[in-house]
């Protein structure tokens, strides 16, 4: 059953709000704008309350929820900006969306483990375990996003604020990530992805098709 027309979809640009019925009546360009306003408000602004501000200060100390919600945001943006490959199961759709955006946070995330990293990974998880770790982004998804979402604990992906790890590193078979960098870098990619979508004038482009599929899913 679709969401009723009178349910709030999100804010508009004039300190008012759109309802689902409003957005269903919009042309595509305005639907894209409404979707970004929705995500800006409900996802980005609210998650940002857990992060560091421009003065490098925080309102609350909440690195674990910040990391988890950044993972949710990565997966959400991936679903807006990319379509799953034909034949991808529902269970794998979220993972593939996450991997596509995670690889844009740092190109190294998309690369396979090096020979030495495979040895360290197997030392941690068992002989030939690296065969199931296609990339560092895959490790982030399996042991970061999933482990945190299902039981709120790190398992092969650990958080740090130490000065020698301003972003992230692979150490002893695990990924160690600074959650404040993770969120900050995602915000940059988020804006870059939306800017690319709005500049895309080809209505049948892969990016626009993906955004249309996402809108169809939540509106219909």
Q: pLDDT tens digit string along 104-127?
A: 999 999 999 999 999 999 999 999
Q: Does residue 153 carry a pLDDT above 90?
A: no
Whether residue 2 is contained in a domain is answered as: no
Q: Which domain holds residue 157?
A: 8-219
Whether residue 1 is contained in a domain is answered as: no
Residues 177, 178, 179, 183, CA torsion sign: negative
Name the domain count of the chain: 1
**Sheet architecture: strand order including 174-177:** 157-159, 174-177, 168-171
Q: What is the pTM (predicted TM-score) of this model?
A: 0.93
Whether residue 188 is contained in a domain is answered as: yes
Whether residue 76 is contained in a domain is answered as: yes
Averaged pLDDT, 152-163: 88
pLDDT of residue 150: 86
């Amino acid at each position: 059953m679709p969401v009723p027309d009178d349910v709030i979809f999100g804010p508009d640009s004039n300190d008012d709000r759109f309802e689902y019925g409003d957005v269903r009546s919009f042309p595509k360009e305005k639907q894209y704008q409404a979707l970004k306003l929705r995500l800006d408000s409900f996802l980005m602004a609210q998650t940002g309350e857990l992060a560091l501000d421009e003065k490098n200060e925080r309102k609350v100390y909440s690195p674990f929820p910040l990391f988890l919600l950044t993972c949710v945001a990565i997966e959400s943006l991936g679903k807006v900006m990319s379509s799953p490959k034909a034949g991808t199961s529902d269970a794998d759709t979220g993972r593939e969306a996450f991997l596509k955006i995670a690889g844009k946070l740092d190109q190294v995330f998309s690369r396979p483990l090096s020979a030495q990293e495979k040895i360290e990974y197997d030392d941690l998880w068992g002989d030939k375990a690296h065969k199931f770790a296609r990339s560092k982004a895959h490790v982030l998804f399996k042991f970061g996003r999933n482990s945190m979402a299902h039981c709120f604990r790190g398992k092969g992906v650990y958080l740090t604020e130490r000065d020698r790890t301003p972003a992230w590193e692979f150490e002893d078979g695990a990924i160690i990530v600074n959650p404040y960098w993770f969120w900050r870098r995602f915000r940059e990619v988020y804006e870059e992805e939306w800017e690319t979508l709005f500049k895309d004038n080809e209505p049948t482009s892969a990016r626009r098709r993906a955004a249309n599929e996402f809108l169809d899913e939540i509106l219909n």
